[in-house]
Structure 1
């Protein structure tokens, strides 16, 4: 399978949702891989219809892109990707907190 880039939707259009099949097409991965990523907590569907159809937003697509880079670049398995993303999320949160604290300084 060749490497692919995920097209990220502008944050103005965050209300746009993608089905599982659309996510698989955009990410060039099989349905089973996305299902496994959901099971590992790497990405979460934002909505699940009564017909058990999953929907994902643009943030989920960005997270999948990040997960793919970790798997391709560092050869991590899904457990390693989940742990790495958790740590990266923590770093992002701390950096945002630092900005807020710096803005409170005179």
Structure 2
């Protein structure tokens, strides 16, 4: 019995060492959560009545009419965003707002 436990740990260590190293393009985030559908586009779904916690700022949880109009105009002007919404089965009229991050990526708030 005393030999089984060390042999088990040795077998586990050998099995873990056989895993190939991650490529240079992968980060901890992509290893844990996978690759996004489109690089540079993130979608945050906001359910009705949901306060969203820290995921969505208040101005995007309850956007003004101007914010929604800007989002609709950006969807109409950007075919990449339109295609991304189609792949995710999100209708354009359900988009509440689109935020542009500092690196140029887009964050889409939809219901």
Common fold: TM-score over 0.5: no
Report which of the two structures shows the higher radius of gyration computed on alpha carbons.
2
Query: Counting helix residues as a fraction of each chain, which structure ranks higher?
Result: 1
Query: Counting strand residues as a fraction of each chain, which structure ranks higher?
Result: 2
Give me the TM-score of the superposition, normalised by structure 2.
Answer: 0.25
User: Bigger relative contact order, structure 1 or 2, given CA contacts below 8 A and separation 6+?
Assistant: 2
